[in-house]
A and B are shown apart, each in its own frame.
Chain A
């Protein structure tokens, strides 16, 4: 595997340099991590929108965008996401590698400086972020919160998690809450951002055709974290399991019913049987020759998509399918049947081997994208376990059929959620 990661911890930032000739651009990514918390989530969700509106030197979105255009259409992406019980602010700047552009030698330097400013020198004064901008961006976030309703698959997934993890940290919505938005202003948002800069865990990645030696010099010259303190407090929580699985049915005026299942895998990234879980998921619903695809779609023509995926840090697995509302009972029966057959070991060694190959191939493909590389490397930070891609591949190749059966038996169905049409049928609420 031709991927090397050089690490360097300096002044409260963990640097990761990943030299590769695969790309014609350089990606600079900052990951800023904190515990997922209902109290702060709305502010954290709002921050990417506000920070995108400018820096001290480029104090409006327009000026910032003009600067990006000058850097050969550099692309800035600010976003936030949750991974398990952690919340991550994601800053990314992708810029053309000056090696491929004649007579250009300062693009990288300018890009690094700009990236630093976006994070550490946003457009704000002693009284905080500009209140007009904050008001405007609160409206943006408000739309975002509401927009989940427009994407019925995401909506169904959120409703599943709302019900399944009701009193758990994981159920906190990534985009925050409308009722908390009204309490945010330029001043308290700025105070909160100070605490992000002071106490979030920060990891910075540089991926591209770079010289590690000179790049690490260049980056650490620009990046200095003014003040920082490492927060060592670990909060733990009780997982709220239920004795028997629950079924939730909700309605909307839609054309196609969305059927989602939520399972507890009782296994996370840190655990030794995590690689067996990957294989289990691949065989159950991860690929287009999986049990769910073959049985729900190919054999019974009930759906266009029927798939499963795992959440690695909390220990969950989800199944998704879009079906005719009248086929609910049949689809549910087939999905449950396939799950039981997996637990009973009703699959061949051959299928296990093929699935392992697919997972390994998928991983290698991920490493052909800069974003994929960063996400893969950052998994280890969030999962608190060093697991190089080489080791990961090795672990997958060691998985046996018995391992897959063992993990299948650890997985428990928790909640079945159906979003169905509100015209006709006895399922009206």
Chain B
């Protein structure tokens, strides 16, 4: 077991790659009552075309299958795994994103027993025709719930505007139609291809004894056998850098229009250096351009173009990167123009040393703040691990960024062809 101590933030991480390929991270924190575990596979809604394990030809599976699979893993032949956790005082959950599927729980007791349940249920699928049919009704209602959520519709609408071919433009849960085609055979195909221990990471954080925990995990894994892993080719269709649609409108019954501007930054495989640079620099720059402590925000706010729903975020993954800026507004056209202008002048701005120090300080303060959450640490740790990076080294990385480096990045970050806008409003 490899132990890394991060002095500056007073945290320790135990790391080990097991013989079956599973990557394990243990982050002991004795001062908390709670423990949290996340078991994640590097597989999400974008992985729709692939060569299944042990086969030669590429297949394309129905949209929404990664999410469907996540639902179905909880159901076993004789029981629902939810109750196994609940009986041991743990609250389980799961989520599917564009690129990951995660199974997790939090608990204040029996941490080892619950970790064992987590490993066992994820590694022992049971799908039947009947239970697959039954789930379709539930997921249909989940999709319809999202159909009524203006924020989600704006988010997906903007992504659809950006990408021509990359499957990130497809809704994570699929559509009411696409999920009808899912069969138990499809589920097994995806499961065996993407749930191999080589493709997965377990992270446990909280109040537990790390030596005994690691021993239990290793013993548990040694009892199971898996086929030889063949690296799954995760390739995506060629994607141009320019957006697909410059502009779109979605009609929904809302009281006030919502504008979302998207920056399509990349649609190719990012090296780990570029991943990290985009992840951090884009975050810093969005804050620099749009923060409530800035001139631009003050102007928009006093002109009544935005309200407190104004927000911005960057999303970097191994095969794509985009940033979003959104707000409710009574003047969608005007707001869009102002946001475009602000973004397009970025390569003419010269940031000062003081400004860079301020945004770095803020970034670090907020990172420390988010480290109050076990869930956040564990999920981020695994997220960065899949990109071959170390979450706990972020603060040090940020501190070292120079003015020249950030200026160089500002020069090439945004061009007009990479911008799009999606407006949600009532008809």
Contacts and interface: CB of A to CB of B under 8 A. Distances in A.
Q: Is B truly associated with A?
A: yes
Interface of A: 1-2, 20-25, 49, 60-62, 65-66, 68-75, 94, 96, 100-101, 136, 139-140, 143, 146-147, 149-152, 252-256, 287-289, 297-298, 301-305, 322-324, 354, 357-358, 360-362, 364-365, 367-370
Given A62-B292, A65-B293, 8 more contacts: A23-B372, A65-B291, A66-B358, A96-B365, A96-B368, A139-B307, A360-B89, A367-B33
Interface in B331-374: 358-359, 361-366, 368-369, 371-374
Given A364-B34, A364-B108, A369-B373, A304 B139 contact: yes
30 contacts: A2-B33, A21-B31, A22-B32, A24-B371, A25-B372, A62-B294, A62-B298, A65-B293, A66-B293, A70-B358, A71-B365, A100-B368, A136-B302, A136-B304, A139-B304, A143-B255, A143-B307, A150-B254, A152-B148, A254-B253, A289-B86, A301-B136, A301-B138, A302-B141, A322-B145, A360-B108, A361-B89, A361-B91, A361-B107, A365-B34
Interface string B63-94: 00000000000000000101100110111100
A250 to B, nearest CB: 13
B141 A303 contact: yes
B141 A146 contact: no
Contacts of A74: 365
A301 B256 contact: no
Contacts of A287: 86, 91
B374 A298 contact: no
Given A74-B365, A136-B304, A304 B138 contact: yes
A150 B152 CA distance: 12
B90 A289 contact: no
A259 B298 CA distance: 41
B150 interface: yes
A289 B83 contact: yes
B104 to A, nearest CB: 13
Contacts of B302: 136
Nearest to B366: A73
B380 to A, nearest CB: 15
A150 B304 CA distance: 20
B253 A25 contact: no
B48 interface: no
Interface residues of B, number: 67
B9 interface: yes
Contacts of A255: 144, 147-148
Contact of B86 (A253, A254, A354): A354
Contacts of A147: 255-256, 309, 328
B255 A72 contact: no
A306 to B, nearest CB: 10
Interface string B286-320: 00000111110110011010011100000000000
B10 interface: yes
Nearest to A300: B137
A131 to B, nearest CB: 13
Nearest to B107: A361
What secondary structure prevails in chain A residues at the interface with B? mixed
Interface string B20-48: 00000000000111100000000000000
A136 B301 contact: yes
A288 B361 CA distance: 41
Nearest to A357: B89
Contacts of A24: 9, 368-369, 371-372
Given A62-B298, A358-B89, A361-B109, A289 B80 contact: yes
Given A256-B147, A289-B80, A304-B142, A149 B255 contact: yes
Interface string B190-212: 00000000000000000000000
B37 to A, nearest CB: 14
B388 interface: no
A288 B86 contact: yes
Contacts of A68: 293
A136 B302 CA distance: 7
A316 B154 CA distance: 35
B106 interface: yes
B427 to A, nearest CB: 9
Given A61-B301, A150-B150, A358-B91, A365 B108 contact: yes
A260 B211 CA distance: 48
Contacts of B140: 324
A253 B374 CA distance: 40
B31 A22 contact: yes
Contact of B368 (A25, A151, A304, A369): A25
A72 B135 contact: no
Contacts of A364: 33-34, 108
A180 to B, nearest CB: 18
B95 to A, nearest CB: 14
Given A70-B361, A73-B365, A302 B91 contact: no
Contacts of B292: 61-62, 65
Interface string B127-168: 000000011111111101101111000000000000000000
A303 B293 contact: no
A62 B302 CA distance: 11
B298 A60 contact: yes
Nearest to B363: A73
A249 to B, nearest CB: 17
B32 A73 contact: no
Contacts of B92: 288
Contacts of A253: 253
Contacts of B307: 139-140, 143
B8 to A, nearest CB: 8
A192 to B, nearest CB: 22
Nearest to A256: B144
Contacts of B108: 360-361, 364-365
Contacts of B297: 62
A332 to B, nearest CB: 16
Contact of A73 (B80, B90, B361): B361
Nearest to A323: B141
A168 B298 CA distance: 41
